[in-house]
Each structure stands twice: as structure tokens, then as C-alpha cells.
Amino acid sequence: MTTPTVDHDLSFTFAALADPTRRAILTRLAAGDATVGQLAEPFSMTQQAISKHLKILERAGLISRGKAAQSRPCRLVPGPFDIAAEWIDRHRQIWQDRYDRLDAHLSALRSGREEQTT
Amino acid sequence: MTMPGEFTYRRIHRASRELLFDCLTRPEHLTHFWGPAGTTTPLDGITVDLRPGGAFETVMVNAEGNQYTMRATYVEVRRPDRLVWTEPDVEGGMTTTITFTDLGDGHTEVTTHQTNVPAAVADPRARQGFETSLRRFDEYVAGLASRRDG
């Protein structure tokens, strides 16, 4: 079997994230690198089954695996997550600022109205 | 786990739904607060054609005088309940949905929901319009792959 390249199929990424076991693996890897054996421990799964999930995650560009060590520890590739997190932070900030200013504008409207009606 | 590229922001304002809807859809209001921070939104740069398919455009100017134009199209216009627009040029297609809920005591909850590419891609029905973003993401993922191989 050839090493799958991460070419032109983003659906890999989203398919990879759709599975709860794979999300749990990613959560574990967020705490630090781990070998297949370490990853298999909390799941009632064989290392072979875990390896299958890891292949899918690797193909999706969400994890990388060490080449030197025989244990080939897995590591989270933060790129895709960082992009998502940055996007959310950026847009949340824009709306927060915008609605702060909207509140100030509403206060101005209210005080203007109160002056007019008296 | 939240899907990437999607978020909801809730705020309670002391105003009626009608006034809040008008604030978000009338140039004479928008110019006071649209922003973003550090920019101004001159009245003459705001286009609002308030109907589904109509244009919603704002020109934002920063302190250095640089301009940034937001180009959106209204999808749904339902005063005072709901306002939806899309920005086809942003990140491959971004949709903003704003809903206005009357809290009954002179306050209104405004819920802003935005989605971009990844969430849209996760929805097969919405997949077709998002080839641009797929390409962008593709390039990014390909970049990751080549770094790893290199």
C-alpha cells in the first residue's frame, strides 16, 4: 500500500473529525505525543483498530507520526485547528466590538429622544 | 467539539426588536457602529438594498486611510425577526444569520450566527457552492503535507 498523500480531498479531514473515537484520540494527543500502545489503553480496542484510525487521521493532515523511533509516536498537527480557532476568535471579537458600539449608539438615541420629549 | 468555522454570539440590548433590526439595516444607523474597531464606516459608502437578493455593502476606512469593502447579498429579510446575508467572496462563502428575540421587558436578545467553509462542507446540501474554499483549504493541507515530507 502506498502512503496516501494529503491531496485534493478535504472530505478526508471532515470525515476524520466525524468519528468519536478519532476525536477522543485527538483530544488525548492535545495533551502530548503518544505511541499507538498508549493511545489504545483507554479504549477497549486493539492496537490494530487504533492504527486504522491513526491512518485516517494522518491522511487528513490532523496528526503526524515520528519516523525515527520504532514506536512512531503520534503528534497533533495544530494547523487545521489553529485556523478554525483563529477564525472564531477574530469574528467573535469583531461582533463584540460592533455590538459594544451599537449599545453606545442606542444610548445616544435614547438620550436624544428624552431631550426632545421634555 | 465545535465544528470548525462556525460560531454563535449572543447579546442582550436595551431596545426593541424593530429598532435593533433598523440599526443593522439602515445606513444612518450603521455608520455609527459598524466598524470594525479602528475603522470608520462613512455613510456614503454604505449600500443597503433591503430585500432577498439585494446588496449589502459597506466601505470601511482605517486610520491610515486604507479602505476595505464588504460585499454581501441579503438572503432573508424578515423585520423584526430575522436577517440573513452571505458574503460569497469571504473565505469561500460566509453566511451571517441574525435573529432578534423579544425578552418582554424592553430588552432584545440578538443572536449572531456565522458559518464559513468547513461547516458548510460538513453539510452535503451546502457543499456545491464552496469549491473556492475547498481549493484554499486544499492548498493549505498540501502545504502541510509537503512540509512533513520535506
Closest partner CB to A5 (pick from B34, B116, B145)? B145
Q: Which residues pair with B39 in a beta bridge?
A: B62
Parse chain B into domains and list their residue ranges: 6-149
**B91 has a chain A CB within 8 A of its CB:** yes
Collect all residues of chain A within an 8 Å Cβ-Cβ radius of residue B138. 7-8, 10
Residue that wins the pLDDT comparison between A61 and A69: A61
Q: What's the helix, strand, coil split of chain A in %, to 5?
A: 65, 5, 30
Virtual torsion, Cα B83, B84, B90, B91, nearest 10 deg: 120
State pLDDT tens for residues B38-70: 888 999 999 999 999 999 999 989 888 888 888
* Residue A4 lies inside a defined structural domain of this protein: no
* Residue A6 lies inside a defined structural domain of this protein: no
* Residues A113, A63 within the same domain: no
Of A79-83, B7-11, B81-85, B129-133, the range with the lowest mean pLDDT is B129-133
Contact B41, B58 (CB under 8 A): yes
Count of domains forming chain A: 2
Collect all residues of chain A within an 8 Å Cβ-Cβ radius of residue B26. none
* Residues A111, A85 within the same domain: yes
Quick check: A105 and B33 CB within 8 A?
yes
Range of the domain at A97: 78-118
Quick check: B121 and A14 CB within 8 A?
yes
CATH number of B6-149: 3.30.530.20
**Per-residue cell: A117:** 420629549
The pLDDT of residue A113 is above 60: yes
Collect all residues of chain B within an 8 Å Cβ-Cβ radius of residue A76. none
